[in-house]
């Protein structure tokens, strides 16, 4: 036990012949020592406060709390058990008592803990933003990711946050512009209120209930069969939306054997078709570079309510083509042009006229419209001019898409993506070359026949890698036939070869069940 300061001081000699002062000093010193070394209970009984300080386990440890609110995901770190930290710190201090104030190790450990906590909060915010994004909650995704952009984080996390902000805006626009029949709209046959029933004296139907015939609102119920039966009993009729697309009001005596539809089977079939298509795409690098391949997968998933795949597939599509909506519209216009060519071959003038009306009403601004109109009017000179203009617009569009991809990558500060895109030159189809001296429309017809034979075989196969490869074999044959027809001045067959070439590309992306 350390000696007191008094024990080191010189002792005053007591007066000669008396020990009273000496005994008094000894008594006072004993009392003081007893008080100093007494346990807490004795000190308290004597009314002496414990002013030594906090116990070892109660030393305060300052911490920084994050103000980022992570909804639907617990990001709370809880209170640390600081007793271990304090013990370590005190042990270190005891070993290096002199250098404790200048030892930086405790500061580095505390900074590391703060950095870890900040990173966890940022990662949680990004995860929440992605959850919003994949739930089609565009504004919330944009706000959540945008709220952390001013925080200190790694370049990788910052790029992820910026890309969510960008993609939320692009996908919101995509859904707004493609809220069209056949595009980003739900299928009737996967509606959660779908039922099956037999029409008296007729067929078996699949439909779901509507509140009335005036609109498309559905009832708020988890039991569509019970709701329909109640409506029939109370009102004598019910409005039902058929999976074929029409709505009908059915009377009570028209419906029998009402039961739930087998939604699990329907969804399972759709999931399997989607899985098979993704697997096929992964096996064919050429298809992976086509943004419309990923859009077709996303569209199929959205239509069939397989929502966990939709946004990721759309993100791949807009990454390859930031101008995706324009590309989709050009593709749809080409599909109508192909229908027009087929209807004309079949002598179906009503089909030809219907396709032209749809082109005029919905796709007048596309590059293909002028060519389709010239074909419809049988104006060969205008057809040649329109074809040349379309080719020019296609080449300009490719350059614009490439530049748009680079600008997006720079906007989200993804330097690796910028370098990758700059290396990825856009594929521009070469202009038709003059045919060889021995070439002519005869050779073009031979190529067309070969291409049609392969194309027909592919059309009769289910979705498979074999089917896709056959379409891939037909494409260059149709291209060569088209160029030979053009060189020979055979505009009618050149259009036919070109549209069947497009049909091969289109069918290769198709997902069917």
User: Over the stretch 190-234, which tens digit does the pLDDT of each residue have?
Assistant: 999 999 999 988 889 999 999 988 878 999 999 999 999 999 999
The average pLDDT across 230-242 equals: 95
Give pLDDT tens digits for 288-307: 999 999 999 999 999 999 99
pLDDT score recorded for residue 484: 94
Does 1 have pLDDT greater than 50? no
Q: ∠ at Cα 17 (15, 21), nearest 5°? A: 50
Does 98 have pLDDT greater than 90? no
pLDDT band, very low/low/confident/very high, at 286 (cuts 50, 70, 90):
confident
pLDDT score recorded for residue 417: 87
Region label for 157, one of left (φ > 0), alpha (ψ between -120 and 50) or beta (otherwise) = alpha
pLDDT score recorded for residue 214: 83
Is the model more confident about 82 or about 47?
A: 47
Distance of CA 300 to the CA centre of its chain: 15
- Characterize 403-431 residue by residue with b for buried, 16 or more Cβ atoms within 10 angstroms of its Cβ, and e for exposed: eebbebbeebebeebbeebeeeeeeeeee
333: closest CA among 307, 366, 306, 371? 366
Strand arrangement, sheet containing 247-251: 247-251, 237-242, 204-210, 195-199, 255-260
Instruction: List all residues 6 or more positions away from 194 whose beta carbon is below 8 Å from its beta carbon.
Output: 188, 206, 207, 208, 224, 243, 260, 261, 263, 266
Share of residues in the chain with pLDDT > 90 (%): 58
Other beta carbons within 10 angstroms of residue 117's beta carbon come to 16
Cα distance between the two ends of the chain: 89
pTM value > 0.75: no
Please give the Cα distance from 503 to 452 (Å, whole number). Answer: 11
> What backbone torsions phi and psi does residue 78 show, to the nearest 5 degrees?
70, 170
pLDDT score recorded for residue 215: 79
Helix, strand or coil, per DSSP, at residue 179: coil
Other beta carbons within 10 angstroms of residue 453's beta carbon come to 13
pLDDT band, very low/low/confident/very high, at 480 (cuts 50, 70, 90):
very high
Does 135 have pLDDT greater than 50? yes
Please give the Cα distance from 196 to 259 (Å, whole number). Answer: 5
The answer to whether the Cα torsion of 95, 97, 102, 104 is positive or negative is positive
pLDDT band, very low/low/confident/very high, at 237 (cuts 50, 70, 90):
very high
Does 257 have pLDDT greater than 60? yes
Say which range, 23-32, 145-154, 329-338, has the weakest mean pLDDT. 23-32
* E strand or H helix at 210: strand 204-210
469: closest CA among 73, 115, 461? 461
Structure tokens at 38: 């007494």
pLDDT band, very low/low/confident/very high, at 143 (cuts 50, 70, 90):
very high
Is the model more confident about 223 or about 421?
A: 223
With beta carbons less than 8 A apart as the criterion, state whether 236 and 251 touch: yes
Which residues share a beta bridge with 239? 210, 249
In angstroms, the Cα distances linking 134 to 131, 145, 301, 455 are 5, 13, 13, 38
Region label for 136, one of left (φ > 0), alpha (ψ between -120 and 50) or beta (otherwise) = left
- Characterize 166-188 residue by residue with b for buried, 16 or more Cβ atoms within 10 angstroms of its Cβ, and e for exposed: bbbebbbebbeebeeeebbeeeb
The answer to whether the Cα torsion of 257, 258, 259, 263 is positive or negative is positive
DSSP 101: G
Q: How many residues does the chain have?
A: 513
Other beta carbons within 10 angstroms of residue 229's beta carbon come to 15
The average pLDDT across 123-135 equals: 96
The answer to whether the Cα torsion of 34, 40, 42, 46 is positive or negative is positive
Please give the Cα distance from 35 to 42 (Å, whole number). Answer: 8
Helix, strand or coil, per DSSP, at residue 238: strand
Instruction: List all residues 6 or more positions away from 111 whose beta carbon is below 8 Å from its beta carbon.
Output: none
Other beta carbons within 10 angstroms of residue 492's beta carbon come to 14
| Alpha-helix residue ranges (DSSP H) falling in 363-490 | 368-377, 380-411, 415-423, 441-459, 465-487
Rg (CA), the chain: 39
Which residues share a beta bridge with 354? none
Structure tokens at 450: 């070969």
Please give the Cα distance from 293 to 386 (Å, whole number). Answer: 27
Other beta carbons within 10 angstroms of residue 95's beta carbon come to 9
pLDDT score recorded for residue 10: 40
């Amino acid at each position: 036990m350390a000696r007191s300061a008094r024990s080191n001081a010189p002792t005053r000699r007591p007066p000669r012949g008396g020990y009273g002062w000496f005994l008094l000093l000894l008594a006072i010193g004993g009392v003081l020592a007893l008080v100093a070394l007494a346990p807490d209970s004795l000190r308290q009984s004597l009314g002496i406060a414990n002013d030594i300080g906090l116990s070892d386990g109660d030393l305060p440890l300052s911490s920084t709390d994050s103000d980022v609110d992570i909804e639907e995901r617990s990001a709370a770190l809880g209170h640390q058990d600081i007793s271990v930290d304090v013990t370590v710190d005190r042990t270190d201090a005891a070993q290096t008592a002199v250098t404790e104030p200048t030892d930086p190790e405790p500061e580095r450990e505390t900074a590391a803990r703060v950095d870890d906590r900040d990173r966890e909060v940022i990662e949680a915010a990004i995860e929440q933003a992605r959850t919003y994004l994949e739930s089609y909650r565009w504004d919330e995704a944009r706000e959540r990711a945008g709220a952390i952009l001013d925080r200190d984080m790694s370049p990788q996390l910052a790029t992820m946050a910026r890309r969510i902000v960008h993609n939320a805006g692009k996908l919101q626009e995509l859904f707004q512009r493609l809220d069209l029949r056949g595009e980003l709209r739900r299928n009737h046959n996967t509606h959660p209120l779908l039922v099956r029933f037999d029409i008296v004296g007729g067929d078996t139907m699949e439909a779901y209930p509507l509140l009335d015939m005036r609109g498309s609102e559905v009832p708020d119920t988890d039991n569509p069969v019970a709701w329909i039966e109640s409506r029939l009993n109370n009102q004598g009729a019910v409005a039902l939306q058929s999976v074929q697309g029409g709505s009908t009001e059915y009377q009570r005596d028209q419906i029998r054997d009402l039961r739930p539809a087998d939604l699990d089977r329907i969804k399972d079939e759709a999931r399997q078709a989607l899985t098979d298509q993704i697997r096929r795409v992964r096996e064919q690098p050429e298809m992976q570079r086509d943004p419309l391949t990923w859009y077709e997968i996303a569209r199929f998933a959205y239509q069939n309510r397989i929502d966990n795949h939709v946004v990721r597939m759309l993100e791949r599509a807009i990454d390859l083509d930031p101008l995706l909506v324009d590309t989709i519209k050009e593709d749809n216009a080409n599909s109508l042009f192909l229908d027009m060519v087929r209807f004309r071959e079949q002598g179906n003038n009503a089909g030809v006229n219907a396709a032209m009306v749809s082109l005029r009403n919905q796709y007048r601004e596309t590059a293909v419209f002028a060519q389709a109109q010239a074909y419809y009017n049988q104006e060969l000179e205008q057809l040649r001019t329109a074809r040349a203009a379309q080719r020019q617009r296609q080449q300009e569009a490719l350059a614009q898409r490439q530049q748009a991809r680079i600008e997006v990558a720079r906007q989200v500060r993804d330097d690796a993506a910028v370098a990758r895109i700059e290396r990825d030159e856009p594929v521009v189809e070469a202009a038709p070359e003059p045919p060889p001296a021995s070439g002519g429309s005869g050779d073009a017809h031979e190529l067309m026949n070969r291409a049609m034979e392969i194309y027909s075989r592919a059309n009769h196969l289910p979705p498979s890698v074999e089917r896709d490869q056959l379409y891939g074999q037909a494409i260059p044959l149709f291209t060569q036939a088209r160029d030979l027809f053009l060189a020979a001045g055979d505009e009618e067959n050149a259009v036919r070869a070109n549209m069947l070439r497009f049909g091969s590309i289109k069918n290769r992306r198709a997902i069917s069940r």
